[in-house]
Structure formats: C-alpha cells, structure tokens
Copies of this chain bind each other. A is one copy, B any other.
Amino acid sequence: MSMHIGDSPEEAAFRAEVRAWLSQHAAPRSDDGGNWHDDLHAHSIACKKWQRVLFNNGWAGISWPKQFGGRGGSHLQESIFNEEQAKFETHTGLFAVSLGMVGPTLMAHGTPEQQEVFLPKMLSGEHVWCQLFSEPNAGSDLANVATRAIEDGDDFIVNGQKVWTSMGQFADYGILLTRTEPDAPKHKGITYFIVDMKTPGIEVRPLVQMTGVAHFNEVFLTDVRIPKANIVGGLHGGWAVANTTLTSERGFIGGGSSSWSVDELIDFARERGLDKDPVVRGKLAECYARAQTLTYLGYRLRTAASNRTMPGPEMFVMKLAYAQHWSRTMDVAMEIAGAHGMISGDAAGDAMHWQHNLLGQFAIRLGGGTNEVQQNIIGERGLGLPREPSVDRDQPWRSLAKG
C-alpha cells in the first residue's frame, strides 16, 4: 500500500457523508469555540442529547465492533468523524471517559456479562462513567493506591479517597482502583472494580479550579459495598487493566479535538491589529508549525492503529508534543491579548476564550501522567534507557513509606 498523507478517495467519500449528516443535525461552530466552560450542568445535558442523536443515527462507537453496539467501522473513520464533528457546535466531553477509556478497557478485559450489560448503554449515552484512580498520595505514582477493598462474602467493602475525578458529579458508574493485597509488591496487589456511583457510602465533592468551574471532584468512599462480579481482570490483577485504561487516556488527551485552533489565533491577531507585526507573525508561524506536526503525528498513530497493534513510544511523543503546543500557543495568545488578557467575564470578549485555555493547560500537562512520566517512558521505549532504579518495585506495598 503506498504512502498517502490525506484522505484516500474512499475516505474522502466517508468524510463527505459525515459532513452532510452533521450539517443537517448540528449548528456550525461558533467563534469562541463553544464557550461551555461556564455552565457544566447545561453542558452535560447537551452532551447526553447529542450522544443520543449519534446513537440513534448509527454514529456512536464508529470503531466499536457491532457486537457491542458499535458501527464496526475503522479507527480512521472514527478520526474523520471526530475531525468533522469538531467543526460543529457539538458537546461531547461528558463521554470522554466512558467512550475513550472505559469502553476500550471493558472490550479488552471485561467479562462477556460486563460487556453485555455496560457497553451498549455507554454508547447510547444512558450511562456516564468516571475514573476513580488518582489519590492524594498516588498521582504520578498511581500504583501506590491506598484505597482498601476487603473481601466480605460475595462482595468487597471499600474505604478510601480519590481525587481528580473528571465529571464525577454527573457519573452513573466509575472504574475504581483498590488495594486488595497490601503484602504484595505495589503493582501486584491492586484490583480493578466497576462501581455504581449511587452505591451508599460514595460522596462526590466538586473541586473548583482557576477557570471558576468544577470539572474535577474529590470522591470519598466509606464502607462501599461492591459485588465480586464487578471485578475487571481478576483479583489482584488490576494493574494491567489500569494500563489499558491509561494508554487510552493518553491517546485521547494527545489527539482529542481542541477548544481552539491556530486559525482562530490568527484571526484574533488580525482583530487586534497585530497580524502584520513581524515578531507576532513569527510566533504564529511557530504555533502553526506545531499544530501541523500534531496533525502528522496523529496521522501516523491512525495508520498504526489501522495496520498493526498500538505502537511503541509514538503515543507518548504525541501527548508531550500536544502539551507543549497548548502551552506555547496560550503564551502567544496572551501576548496578543495584551491588556484584554487580564480581564475575565463578558467584557473580555475573545480574550476570555484564550484565557480559559491558558488556565486549562494544566489538565493537558497532567492528565494521563505528567510530562515527566511521559518523558521517562520515552526514554525507556524510544531510546532504550534503563528504567530509573526503583527502590520500591519488589517490596511489599505495606512496608513502603507513605508520603
């Protein structure tokens, strides 16, 4: 098959079909990138509504096998759909965890019953999922989770605290990492559960961020009872399952559609009378170059996803490049914004949009593992550097100092 960087005739036809359908079912994207930041609740309702439209029209889970209610299409088709969808005023963020992370994990590791019960309702938008992974002392070092799950008859009883649970306040189900064997080394005593968020003992507390909204939550678990049937990947076998979830997350964060584009930034510079400034032009060019690069890195990932199993360090490269691109572009945007860059609220106009994204950069830098975690993985997988000597890999988790 020869190299082809762009749509093949079949892909172009698919794209045209998608665009035609979208233009009938959604409004064109507004200038401010769909400024839904301010009202998460309204956003969540819009997401559910749109997911239902997708599902009813056969566009939900484009790359998912038909047996799970998907369209049975290719990853490439899904990417094309997402690209086109981003040009319309559509709301999708509520299902990022469900479709991007939980779905692939359950397809890979779930029992047939779990797949049958949960996957279709994920696609239809009936169930919203959240991720209960990070803890106050288990961030980059996720394998350090301390939330305890203790066997009790046909159930486990769970106690602990989770943080950075995106959209947790809207979730029906969660995927949950727990410690079930404290005397095993830390990677080997973890169990992965599906948990119904309405189970007694679960309290979700929103965390307000700099942007003024509470995208993330703390989740407290007190004597939460979960049936054994909800274990994914076997008792103490949760680490491998978590890795499937995380790999999906990194791909999502690296390749997700943005709330902004370099074209919009160029327009912004033009409105501010700076598009002829040679220094600003050079900076816009750098942003453009980075955006193009991400496009091609994305093309390469798609090719890999179509032709083979998931590649080595490419996904981590993409995620790092994306975080850099986001942060650099926002710096340029704030320079262009000038005094306007300091004002929030309606008075700020377009500048507000960029400020939101500036403040939002840390979710990109930190989600799916910090930049530093990615860099270490690239060092190992891309350059063959030895893993950083670890003092805690083989010791019982219980014996490690807790931070």
Instruction: Tell me the A residues contacting B by CB distance below 8 Å.
Output: 277-279, 282
Q: Complex: how many Å from CA A277 to CA B281?
A: 13
Question: Which residues of B are found within 8 Å of A279, using beta-carbon distances?
Answer: 278-279, 282
Q: Complex: how many Å from CA A277 to CA B277?
A: 12
Q: Which residue of B lies closest to A277 (CB)?
A: B278
Q: Complex: how many Å from CA A282 to CA B282?
A: 12
Q: Which residue of B lies closest to A389 (CB)?
A: B391
Question: Which residues of B are found within 8 Å of A278, using beta-carbon distances?
Answer: 277-279
Q: Which residue of B lies closest to A282 (CB)?
A: B279
With both chains docked as a complex, state the minimum distance between the C-beta of A132 and any C-beta of chain B, in angstroms: 32
Q: Complex: how many Å from CA A344 to CA B279?
A: 31
Q: Complex: how many Å from CA A178 to CA B52?
A: 77
Q: Complex: how many Å from CA A277 to CA B282?
A: 12
Q: Complex: how many Å from CA A279 to CA B281?
A: 10
Q: Complex: how many Å from CA A278 to CA B279?
A: 7
Q: Which residue of B lies closest to A391 (CB)?
A: B389
List the 4 closest A-B pairs by CB distance, nearest first. A278-B278, A279-B282, A278-B279, A279-B279
With both chains docked as a complex, state the minimum distance between the C-beta of A372 and any C-beta of chain B, in angstroms: 15
With both chains docked as a complex, state the minimum distance between the C-beta of A368 and any C-beta of chain B, in angstroms: 27
Question: Which residues of B are found within 8 Å of A282, using beta-carbon distances?
Answer: 279
Q: Complex: how many Å from CA A278 to CA B277?
A: 9
Q: Complex: how many Å from CA A317 to CA B278?
A: 33
Q: Complex: how many Å from CA A278 to CA B283?
A: 13
Q: Complex: how many Å from CA A398 to CA B277?
A: 63
Write 5 A-B pairs (CB below 8 A) sorted by A numbering: A277-B278, A278-B278, A278-B279, A279-B279, A279-B282
With both chains docked as a complex, state the minimum distance between the C-beta of A204 and any C-beta of chain B, in angstroms: 36
With both chains docked as a complex, state the minimum distance between the C-beta of A172 and any C-beta of chain B, in angstroms: 44
With both chains docked as a complex, state the minimum distance between the C-beta of A86 and any C-beta of chain B, in angstroms: 33
With both chains docked as a complex, state the minimum distance between the C-beta of A277 and any C-beta of chain B, in angstroms: 8
Question: Which residues of B are found within 8 Å of A277, using beta-carbon distances?
Answer: 278
Q: Complex: how many Å from CA A359 to CA B279?
A: 28
Q: Complex: how many Å from CA A271 to CA B67?
A: 72
Q: Complex: how many Å from CA A282 to CA B277?
A: 12
Q: Which residue of B lies closest to A278 (CB)?
A: B278
Q: Complex: how many Å from CA A277 to CA B279?
A: 10
Q: Which residue of B lies closest to A280 (CB)?
A: B278
With both chains docked as a complex, state the minimum distance between the C-beta of A16 and any C-beta of chain B, in angstroms: 42
With both chains docked as a complex, state the minimum distance between the C-beta of A319 and any C-beta of chain B, in angstroms: 25
Q: Complex: how many Å from CA A278 to CA B278?
A: 7
Q: Complex: how many Å from CA A279 to CA B277?
A: 10
Q: Complex: how many Å from CA A221 to CA B134?
A: 57
With both chains docked as a complex, state the minimum distance between the C-beta of A337 and any C-beta of chain B, in angstroms: 19
Q: Complex: how many Å from CA A283 to CA B279?
A: 10
With both chains docked as a complex, state the minimum distance between the C-beta of A94 and any C-beta of chain B, in angstroms: 41
| Of listed A277, A278, A282, residue having the most chain B CB within 10 A | A278
Q: Complex: how many Å from CA A282 to CA B278?
A: 10
Q: Complex: how many Å from CA A279 to CA B280?
A: 9
